[in-house]
Amino acid sequence: MAAVISFQNVSKRYGDITAAHNLNLDVAPGEFLSFLGPSGCGKTTSLRMIAGFEQPSEGEVFLEGERVNNVPAYRRPVNMVFQHYSLFPHLNVMDNVAYGLRQLSSKPSAKEIDLRVSETLELVQLTGFNKRRIWELSGGQQQRVALARALINKPKVLLLDEPLAALDRKLRREMQIELQNLQRNVGITFILVTHDQEEALSMSDRICIMKDGEIVQIGNPLELYDRPKNRYVADFVGKSNFFEGAIGQSNKESVDINLDCGLSIENIPNSKPGEQNVGDRVCISVRPEQLVLARDENQLPGNIALKSRAQVLNRIFLGEQTEYVLRNEQLGEFLALSPRRNELSERPFEINETVFVAWNRDTALILDGAT
């Protein structure tokens, strides 16, 4: 199906500052896409160009196949929920939610407006809140009013700029689930801006990772986690241990890498055949859950790329898993995540204890050396 939103070589400059650089992006109808990246990377700017609050300095923006560079915000089939909700404090819930309908040139009848407001309030689980004042609502309820206000016009696209940032952790988790359900129910395309990777991973169909105004990688959560393009993405999506080194030897199937710390790993699968030359700088990424810890060397699995002894510096119980901070003279500090069920037969590893650590050949991911 044709893209509902399309960016073609879109850039945005404010004087000397390039807020967005050469963005190319297609969003499918009904998709839940997140923009993820650190502060200042261009997330809000990108959203504002979709909404029509900003015009690109270069490139073209299409909505449902129509070029909209010169179409004003109020003519676009798009609504936006701002970080600070921007509700009208002097109006009650009903009047806040009905606002968009009452602005229409072909304003619906009072009865129709009542009906639409009730339907929309039901959608965000605020049935019966019509007459409440904004200051009589909790943060989460205000958030829902903002959502209802943006949904009442049935936009094709809903843009959400850090909509949950002001909520506490528990409420935030609840609202994440509600937003996801809401999106599935209404079938509207959602674009969410966040700098919280967990939020992006748990909610999105696809995530667009941004850095310094550019898109670094777009993919579904699994692709980004399992096949990050470079160290920046691997670091931003989940936790990872990184070890720098250079290619020692390579053929189509496998690679040897001389780590800068002096250790060598041999015969690991070549994830980028044809692109590796002897001496090329690379970075190895190993996820904490891919490391195996054992008291007894015999318990380590076969097919090992690297085995060493390391000292436990710290441990954090996380329920069904335990996170260990480990240290080894050559590798430095690194993280390992150990499932509790592996430990039930034994005691958990103690702080200061020396343990065996191993990683499987297949788990070491080779990334470009440059970040």
Neighbouring C-alpha atoms within 13 Å toward the C-beta of 68: 25
| Interactions with ligand ATP, residue window 8-37 (CB under 6 A) | 14, 17, 19, 37
Hey, which residues does 161 pair with through a beta bridge? Answer: 193
| Smallest distance from ligand ATP to CB 134, Å | 24
- Minimum Å distance from CB 33 to Mg ion? 16
Residue with tokens 């915000």: 73
Backbone angle region of 93, left / alpha / beta, with phi > 0 → left and psi within -120 to 50 → alpha: alpha
Query: Among 43-51, 172-180, 242-250, 275-283, which window interacts with ligand ATP (CB under 6 A)?
Result: 43-51
Residue 19 interacts with, from Mg ion, ligand ATP, none (CB under 5-8 Å by kind): ligand ATP
Binding test (CB under 6 A) with ligand ATP, winner from 1, 16, 39, 106: 39
Indicate which of Mg ion, ligand ATP, none lies near residue 42 (CB less than 5 to 8 Å, by partner kind): ligand ATP
State which H helix or E strand residue 308 sits in: strand 304-317
Place of tokens 């070890």: 243
Question: Least separation, in Å, of the C-beta of 225 and ligand ATP?
Answer: 22
Footprint (CB under 5 A) of Mg ion, residues 33-62: 44
Cα(25)–Cα(157) distance, integer angstroms: 15
**Tally of CB atoms within 10 A around 2:** 10
Residue 363 interacts with Mg ion (CB under 5 A)? no
**Which residue of 195, 229, 307, 361 would you call a contact of ligand ATP, by CB under 6 A?**
195
Going by their DSSP bridges, the two strands 206-211 and 32-36 should be labelled as: parallel
Taking CB within 5 to 8 Å according to partner kind, which of ligand ATP, Mg ion, none is near residue 370? Answer: none
Report the C-alpha gap between 214 and 282 in whole angstroms.
Answer: 22
Q: How far is Cα 151 from Cα 64, in angstroms, rounded to an integer?
A: 18
* Binding test (CB under 6 A) with ligand ATP, winner from 45, 241, 290, 360: 45
Q: Give whichever of 19 and 326 is closer to ligand ATP, judged by the CB atom.
A: 19
* CA distance linking residue 34 with residue 161, whole number of Å: 10
Q: Please provide the size of the chain in residues.
A: 371
17 binds, among ligand ATP, Mg ion, none (CB under 5 to 8 A by kind): ligand ATP
Q: Which is nearer to Mg ion, 134 or 192 (CB)?
A: 192
What the block records as the tokens of 236 is 């931003």
Least Å distance, CB 194 to ligand ATP, is 9
Neighbours of 4 (CB within 10 A): 22
User: What is the nearest approach in angstroms of ligand ATP to the Cβ of residue 45?
Assistant: 3
User: Which residues partner with 304 through β-bridges?
Assistant: 360
Beta bridge partners of 339: 321
- Least distance (Å) from ligand ATP to the CB of residue 9? 18
Smallest gap from Cβ 48 to ligand ATP, in A, equals 8
* 41 versus 367: smaller Cβ distance to Mg ion: 41
Q: What are phi and psi of 278, to 5 degrees?
A: -55, 135
Min separation Cβ 188 and ligand ATP, Å: 22
- Asked if 184 and 32 touch (Cβ cutoff 8 Å), the reply is no
Which residues sit at the interface with ligand ATP, rule CB under 6 A?
Answer: 14, 17, 19, 37, 39-45, 195
